[in-house]
Structure 1
Amino acid sequence: MKKIILLTAISVSLASCGNQKKDNKSAITIDGSSTVYPITEAIAEEYRAEDPDVDVTIGVSGTGGGFQKFGRGEVAITNASRPIKDDEKAIAESNGISFVELEVAYDGLAVVVHPENDWVSCFTVEQLKKIWEPAAQGTITRWNQIDPTWPDEEIHLFGPGVASGTFDYFTEAIVGKSGSSRGDYTASEDDNVLVQGVSGDKYGLGFFGLAYYEENSDKLKMVPVDGGEGCVEPSTETVSNGTYAPLSRPLFIYVNSSSLENPSVVDFVNFYLTEAPSLLKDVGYIPLTDEEYKREQEKFTSFVEQYNTQQ
């Protein structure tokens, strides 16, 4: 399969040109995480090849933005790089929406600098916390404040916006509280903007999903992280076995119960869980084990059966 190009568009329609307007029963609407987007995009491309009559539309508004639309019943599926929060569950419940959470892959967060950065070879969690915690705003602004042997130059920070599940995960893992971060950094829900920012700034520092680093490894330098057991670089092995701590995580899709009225949604999700293992490496992610995919398939089958019983 040709390598999937990471798109910068906020919303991408996968409808075939020239096709007549499709029946709503053949439309699948998806939104959410930019981190999970390349996986769902790859699945959708393969699915369209098998069933071109199904119109799959994928939006990229961040995990938080996706959950907002999902809770209002505006999308059938949402991509998420973190579990749903209690307040997001409450919105869905208030709108009579039940859902199933399905793990689809593992991912590591890459901490990156400019290739000309020759002073950083590893970050400790404590150093990353010192850089990113709220108290650092306006105070920790230069590289030599982290290590006196590093240059007396400004740190230019790039990171996901507050609606991003990557932001939530990083702040919880590094700072100790989800959403707790300095605010004086260049923020974007589009990881490609972050890639461009760091790759164009010798004194830049940023973080995002490992797949985006691998797609742009020729113009970035990845920095190993010491979570207490020595410096470890994210890879298929270190992410899947958990040694790349604390920046390894599962990725999810959530399926809206009301969308099960559309048989294409059920077929698409089953296709997703079946084909994900073979497609993930093409887009830079780590698959679950066979046993874990079987568990998720059984969970989805049970969800569909329960919905059909209630109808």
Structure 2
Amino acid sequence: MKKWKYLTMTAALGSALLLGACGSETETETEQGTTTGSEANEPADTGEAQLTGSVSGDGSSTVAPITEALVEEYGAVQSGVQVSVGVSGTGGGFEKFIAGETDFSNASRPIKEEEKAKLEEAGIDYTEFQVAFDGLTVVVNPENDWATELTVDQLKQIWIEDGSTKKWSDIDPSWPDEEIVFYSPGTDSGTYDYFDEVILEGEALVKSATLSEDDNVLVQGVAADKNAIGFFGYAYYLENQDKLTAVSVDGVAPTNETIESGEYTPLSRPLFVYAKNSALKENEAFYDFMKYTLENAGAMAEAVGYVKLPDEKYQEGLTTLEGLK
């Protein structure tokens, strides 16, 4: 998994939370996610009450940059708590959540009715917390100077399977007579689900698309082919904007302002964390991590390239969390 650059970390959180506050912290990165903790016996001197324990989560690759940044910074505050986060996609994360394998599940879409039913059947009560806004971003290769502004109808024409081999000239006769190369999040991804809902409207995605739960694979694919098009979360675009071009949709480009205002429609969306209620009550470390998440998610979302919620939304979340203790 790639290491995320924090765009404005110092300004967002202040030097008291920087990783340097806990020089003994280590991080292990695997294909499944990120685990942080400390090998030191001495807790970091942060003035906070020190806890021990473990917390586990999984889910959306879109939410992952926010959570991974929070996990890393939380390690400087509570070095005795080990927080592990996998990235199986929204759907894959909910599968683990339903199976009782995780304390929380990251999601780039609201939970589905069938997932709610399975959680109820499993006897798992949960609470939904919204942590940020995202703008699902359609991208093309920088050499593509013809499809930088698309309408929703054109996106449908491009992405919906119709049995043909699609060329750019099929969308507009003045565009190149070249086959379109597609890159899409995998079907376990909440980003895929959201695109399916608002663009495909339940129709099948083009069969020729390369699917991956790893958004970095999608970035590399589009960056390497002038005829490629793809989509993923806004933060992944910002992290790679030197090698990608963001497409305007119905005349509106994805920016912090257009995403927060809802002007970037229909591709603006909220991002969520779903927390297991019993774990919040029984695992003090998890409760503390969720409290830290809601207190810092806004600044961290901005730091990694997403859009924070209004402050009152985080306060509402904290009030809800307090009621679950």
Does the pair score TM above 0.5?
Answer: yes
- Secondary structure of residue in 2 paired with 1:12: strand
Distance 1:27 1:37, change over 3 A: same
Given that 2:142 and 2:245 are in contact with CA atoms closer than 8 Å, whether structure 1 keeps it comes out as: yes
Question: How far apart are 1:180 and its partner, in Å?
Answer: 4.0
Letter in 1 for 2:305: G
| Of 269, 272, 279, the match for 1:259 | 279
Partner Cα separation in structure 2 for residue 102 and residue 268 of structure 1: 13
Hey, what does 2:180 align to over in structure 1? 155
Partner Cα separation in structure 1 for residue 41 and residue 113 of structure 2: 41
Partner Cα separation in structure 2 for residue 11 and residue 243 of structure 1: 33
- Secondary structure of residue in 1 paired with 2:38: coil
- The Cα offsets for residues 150-181 of structure 1, whole Å up to 9 and x where unpaired, read as 0000100001010000000011111223x742
What does residue range 83-122 of structure 1 map to in structure 2 within 5 Å?
83-122=110-149
Q: Determine if the alignment matches structure 1 residue 41 to structure 2 residue 84.
A: no
What does residue range 2-151 of structure 1 map to in structure 2 within 5 Å?
3-4=5-6, 9-17=31-39, 26-135=53-162, 138-151=163-176
Letter in 2 for 1:185: A
Partner Cα separation in structure 2 for residue 73 and residue 39 of structure 1: 23
| Of 189, 203, 213, the match for 1:189 | 213
Hey, what does 1:238 align to over in structure 2? 258
Q: Pick which of 240-249 and 139-148 moved more.
A: 139-148
Given that 1:31 and 1:59 are in contact with CA atoms closer than 8 Å, whether structure 2 keeps it comes out as: yes
Give TM-score, length-normalised by structure 1. Answer: 0.89
Unmatched tracts of structure 2, length 5 or more: 8-28, 43-50
Question: How far apart are 1:17 and its partner, in Å?
Answer: 4.5
Question: How far apart are 1:258 and its partner, in Å?
Answer: 2.4
Letter in 2 for 1:273: L
Q: What percentage of aligned pairs have identical amino acids?
A: 50
- Secondary structure of residue in 2 paired with 1:28: strand
Given that 2:52 and 2:80 are in contact with CA atoms closer than 8 Å, whether structure 1 keeps it comes out as: no
Partner Cα separation in structure 2 for residue 25 and residue 91 of structure 1: 31
Given that 1:4 and 1:38 are in contact with CA atoms closer than 8 Å, whether structure 2 keeps it comes out as: no
Partner Cα separation in structure 2 for residue 146 and residue 19 of structure 1: 62
Given that 1:73 and 1:256 are in contact with CA atoms closer than 8 Å, whether structure 2 keeps it comes out as: no
Question: How far apart are 1:183 and its partner, in Å?
Answer: 2.7
Q: Determine if the alignment matches structure 1 residue 205 to structure 2 residue 229.
A: yes
Partner Cα separation in structure 2 for residue 88 and residue 77 of structure 1: 14
Hey, what does 1:247 align to over in structure 2? 267
Give TM-score, length-normalised by structure 2. Answer: 0.86
Given that 1:130 and 1:140 are in contact with CA atoms closer than 8 Å, whether structure 2 keeps it comes out as: no
Unmatched tracts of structure 1, length 5 or more: 306-311
Partner Cα separation in structure 2 for residue 46 and residue 15 of structure 1: 10
Letter in 2 for 1:127: Q
Given that 1:8 and 1:190 are in contact with CA atoms closer than 8 Å, whether structure 2 keeps it comes out as: no
Q: Determine if the alignment matches structure 1 residue 165 to structure 2 residue 190.
A: yes
- The Cα offsets for residues 21-65 of structure 1, whole Å up to 9 and x where unpaired, read as xxx960000100000000011111111100110000010000000
Partner Cα separation in structure 2 for residue 184 and residue 8 of structure 1: 29
Question: How far apart are 1:216 and its partner, in Å?
Answer: 0.3
Question: How far apart are 1:301 and its partner, in Å?
Answer: 2.1
